[in-house]
Structure 1
């Protein structure tokens, strides 16, 4: 019997403009009734994820957890101190930043306090991240990571609106950092995500399941993009929303008929969770 559903946020649980569909709010209530734990699992910082639920009845998120930074942090919901945390090696973070600086490529640096520091952001990206908690645009005159102050860097992102360019940048980064403790993945059809080696949403889910004493066979992982793949593969049931990308779709045990805009989680509850409780 499934006891925990871990879900990506943007383009999976949330629609355009980081909007939470009403159908998914109703699904949260039904999962709560049935005793199934819903765990947001995102590349965003913990604080930004929690902010997405600001309009939701707090009772629906009581006693749950948040997996943030693509599995780098695990927090209890509404507790800022993580129970698990991992950060990037500073030398590697500086190297990724230098790579972006050489190309004046849009770069995001994420810190444990929830800051998302963005430099060289075109108007396209500024509009895309509008409304996300923690975003700060850094003046393009900066030439090192000192704009992050004393904080460690949890993860870094390069952005290009042409996904083929983003993938080429990821391949070049992979060559430059071959053998280094760095993993690279992709999301949102524009992001190159740079994480500490061995950190992904699948390991984040596994860590949390172990803390809670839940067998991985009793978990569901829901996503839409490449940075969700490890979670989809690790979970007992890997689920894609209808807008799941073509590279991830073949790995899903189930692809829902509903996309992120309409809110796919009522369908998931109806097709998978409720039959177990009939």
Structure 2
């Protein structure tokens, strides 16, 4: 959702709010999908935008959790084993990277974020900054289910190289690697992605995937773009995802690409 539907301040651009209104009028179900958690996603839909989501659903944690709008209790969940999470956390500390440790109750703990990362997260609720020197392991999260772990690096090329080098470790641990926001390497249970989440929701709602449009910008959107009947990239879609898109819009997500989407593919 970030960089696809929201601007750089994690707010809905006016053009996308107009698109939400028109989709509602047309009877099109709009489902936000994000690597973030349900409450954080809903914070991005204040006032009228929240009303326009009534009766819809939210795919959070990269499709692993599905919620009805207005109900914080998820219909589906997933998580990492404690052993797996501990190894990933230890490796992140060895690499000297800031991390996000996402827990199932809608919070994220962020060890060692620099000023840029703190600023990027400033408008997102449920974030707690910690120092990994005070937490050599994850015992400070005892009793809380860990959903996924992110490594942070704004050098996206280096992050992709790290992902390739970690592939054998991920396979051994049963973990899937993906990327988001050109700054995050995400580590989740294998088989959990936005594509499987979308397919599960479509099955629940008895909607053929051929009638679904999926819109994204990053690698964590790829499975969803491939699963949908029409896979759409916003203008700022990353180069690794662009070839898999059926269509790439002329407008960036930050500038309100969904108005173009409605005009080109729904007003027909």
TM range (shorter): over 0.9
Query: 1:213 — aligned with what?
Result: 206
Judge which range, 233-242 or 102-111, deviates more: 102-111
Question: Separation in 2 of the partners of 1:24 and 1:45?
Answer: 21
Query: 1:3 — aligned with what?
Result: none
Query: 1:223 — aligned with what?
Result: 216
For the pair 1:26 / 2:18, whether they are aligned, the reply is yes
1:120-159 pair list within 5 angstroms: 120-140=112-132, 141-159=134-152
1:1-278 pair list within 5 angstroms: 9-140=1-132, 141-275=134-268
How far off is 1:124 after superposition?
A: 1.5
How far off is 1:172 after superposition?
A: 2.9
Cα distance, 1:245–1:57 mapped onto 2, change above 3 Å: closer
Cα RMSD (Å): 1.1
Q: Secondary structure at the residue paired with 2:40?
A: helix
Q: Secondary structure at the residue paired with 2:172?
A: coil
How far off is 1:57 after superposition?
A: 4.2
Question: Separation in 2 of the partners of 1:27 and 1:19?
Answer: 14
How far off is 1:138 after superposition?
A: 1.1
C-alpha deviations, 1:68-127, integer Å up to 9, x for none?
A: 000110000110111111111221111100101112211101011110110011112111
Question: Separation in 2 of the partners of 1:207 and 1:268?
Answer: 24
Flag the structure with higher helix content.
2
Q: Does structure 1 retain, via aligned residues, the 8 Å contact 2:232–2:249? A: yes
C-alpha deviations, 1:220-259, integer Å up to 9, x for none?
A: 1000011100000000100001111111111111111111
Q: Name the count of aligned residue pairs.
A: 267
Q: Secondary structure at the residue paired with 1:37?
A: coil
Question: Separation in 2 of the partners of 1:170 and 1:148?
Answer: 25
Question: Separation in 1 of the partners of 2:203 and 2:127?
Answer: 32
- Compute the TM-score of the two structures, normalised by the length of structure 2: 0.96
Judge which range, 98-107 or 170-179, deviates more: 170-179
Q: Does structure 1 retain, via aligned residues, the 8 Å contact 2:103–2:144? A: yes
Q: Which runs of 5+ in 2 are unaligned?
A: none
Q: Secondary structure at the residue paired with 1:40?
A: coil
Q: Which runs of 5+ in 1 are unaligned?
A: 1-8
Cα distance, 1:212–1:149 mapped onto 2, change above 3 Å: same
Q: Does structure 2 retain, via aligned residues, the 8 Å contact 1:159–1:192? A: yes
Question: Separation in 2 of the partners of 1:148 and 1:172?
Answer: 28
